[in-house]
């Protein structure tokens, strides 16, 4: 099996015990922490913002993979840098001047990623791919945890892998939404480098063990 990174999504964690959840992730074989920022406009849900990220940063030993599901995200790039984002992902659908957005994220010293919604074609990445540290493919419509993986995402992953090779680009492919212990192997085999999983980890009795199970074929 190909190597991959695991980025548990805190969206499904127990927010009343956030510090304990972060310590659990520190002690786990997870690679990053995935933070879903929603504004109730770009997506039909609201989560948390910079003050919470700042607290998470204080405790986390792992990189913060921050997924912005907000309109006009450029307004807040400096804030997200200041509160500790390491990787900042912006939606193709939310950035009118995407090249400028990606350039600014990098200027601020963060790694820049572009996100595509399930309906947005891979071809739209052709002229930005070489600038990106990572492309995040949504395999559900963003807004909520615990949704079902959209199977067409597998075709998109393969198409993106082809485009990356064609351009001799270095960027990673992250897949977010509906990733479970039952389907993650085929997602990795299709070409994913980073998997986000929320519900499949935090809705289990022992998230630490579940994280280990995700990584098991590699050991």
- Distance (Å, whole) CA 204 – CA 53: 24
Q: Are 125 and 90 in contact (CB under 8 A)?
A: no
Interacting partner of 156 out of ligand DX5, Zn ion, none (Cβ under 5 to 8 A depending on kind): none
Beta carbon of residue 8, minimum distance to ligand DX5 (angstroms, whole number) = 9
Selected range binding ligand DX5 among 116-124, 175-183, 184-192, 211-219, rule: CB under 6 A: 175-183
Beta carbon of residue 178, minimum distance to ligand DX5 (angstroms, whole number) = 5
How many residues bind ligand DX5, per CB under 6 A? 21
Selected range binding ligand DX5 among 54-62, 79-87, 99-107, 177-185, rule: CB under 6 A: 177-185
Q: Output 38 or 128, the one with its CB closest to ligand DX5.
A: 38
- Distance (Å, whole) CA 122 – CA 119: 9
Give the tokens for residue 6. 């695991």
Task: List binders of ligand DX5 among 98-127 (CB under 6 A).
Answer: none
Q: Are 195 and 6 in contact (CB under 8 A)?
A: yes
Taking CA atoms, 103 is separated from 31, 71, 197, in Å, by: 25, 18, 28
Residue with tokens 């003050």: 51
- Write out the catalytic residue numbers: 36, 176
Q: Are 33 and 6 in contact (CB under 8 A)?
A: no
Q: Output 146 or 169, the one with its CB closest to ligand DX5.
A: 146
- Distance (Å, whole) CA 116 – CA 73: 15
- Distance (Å, whole) CA 146 – CA 204: 12
91 binds Zn ion (CB under 5 A): no
Selected range binding ligand DX5 among 50-58, 82-90, 106-114, 144-152, rule: CB under 6 A: 144-152
Contact footprint for ligand DX5 (CB under 6 A): 9, 11-12, 34, 36, 67, 140, 142-143, 145-147, 176-179, 196-200
């Amino acid at each position: 099996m190909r190597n991959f990174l695991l980025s548990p999504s805190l969206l499904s964690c127990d927010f009343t015990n956030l510090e304990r959840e972060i310590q659990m992730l520190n002690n786990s074989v997870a690679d990053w922490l995935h933070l879903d920022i929603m504004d109730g406009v770009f997506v039909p849900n609201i989560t948390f913002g910079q003050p919470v990220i700042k607290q998470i940063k204080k405790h986390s030993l792992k990189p913060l993979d921050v997924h912005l599901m907000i309109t006009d995200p450029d307004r807040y790039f400096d804030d997200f840098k200041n509160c500790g984002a390491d990787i900042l992902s912006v939606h193709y659908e939310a950035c009118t001047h995407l090249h400028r957005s990606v350039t600014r994220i990098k200027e601020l010293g963060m790694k820049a990623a572009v996100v595509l919604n399930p309906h947005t074609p891979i071809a739209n990445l052709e002229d930005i791919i070489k600038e990106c540290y990572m492309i995040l493919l949504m395999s559900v419509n963003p807004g909520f945890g615990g949704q079902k993986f959209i199977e067409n995402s597998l075709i998109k992953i393969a198409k993106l892998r082809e485009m990356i090779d064609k351009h001799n680009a270095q960027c990673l492919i992250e897949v977010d939404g509906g990733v479970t212990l039952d389907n993650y192997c085929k997602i990795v085999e299709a070409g994913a480098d980073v998997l986000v999983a929320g519900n499949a980890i935090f809705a289990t009795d022992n998230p630490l063990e579940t994280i280990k199970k995700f990584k098991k074929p590699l050991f």
